[in-house]
Amino acid sequence: MKPEYKKKDIRSFVIRAGRMTEGQKNAFDKWWPTYGLSLFDGEVNLQETFGRQAPLVVEVGFGMGDSLLEMAKSEPEKNFIGIEVHPPGVGRLIHRAGDEQVTNLRVYMADAKDVLEDCIPDMSVSRFQLFFPDPWHKKKHHKRRIVQTDFVALVARKMRAEGCFHLATDWENYADHMMEIMSQSSEFENMSPDYLFSVKPDYRPDTKFEKRGERLGHGVWDILFKKITG
């Protein structure tokens, strides 16, 4: 399967080359009908999709999906939607979710902005997660960073009042950029004092990538903002 796209604006990602394992390929045949959602089906009916009403957590860019699956399992009272463009990660996630009979998780393999604009209902998200997005560390590439004023406004439109927008990065320059952009929004307020980063909440698992970075002396910055408008 290939990621679904609609618009052709500047992308915040590049498709990384990489082969899927046989297990990941087979996962699409076996488990995509259960876990997969399509961009082209339009706005998702959450009640029909999950068979219940529950707080919704949306994560953009879940990578190989291990931490998202762990959160879905540890918070069964919530519904989770993951958005990712890389087929190997999607295949791995739905393969594991199916084997472990996880029922509160669904997945889009599509561009995050397209999904948010066309599929996620307004004022439906209780927690929005953006963990370790591509930092595009070269200055000439900063325009590709997903955290920009228009993206924050889009997320705000999708979130419930008092909902949490949780960002995390291991690039200090990007952390400062995130903090600046978030602090400029009139629709969010820092859950820590102004311009201070937050302690990592217990619900966010440590990723293998994160643990490797810590061994190399890299820092990790968590940023939590609360939606303050209805």
Residues 6+ away with beta carbon under 8 Å from 227 = 156, 159, 160, 161, 162, 163, 164, 165, 187, 188
For residue 186, the SS3 value is: coil
CA 228 to CA 230: how far, in whole Å? Answer: 7
For residue 220, the SS3 value is: coil
222 an active-site residue? no
Catalytic residue chosen out of the listed positions 66, 134, 176, 222: 134
CA 133 to the chain's CA centroid: 9
Closest CA to 59 of 78, 84, 85: 84
* 158 burial type by CB count under 10 A (0-12 exposed, 13-18 middle, 19+ buried): buried
- Give catalytic residues, as residue numbers: 134
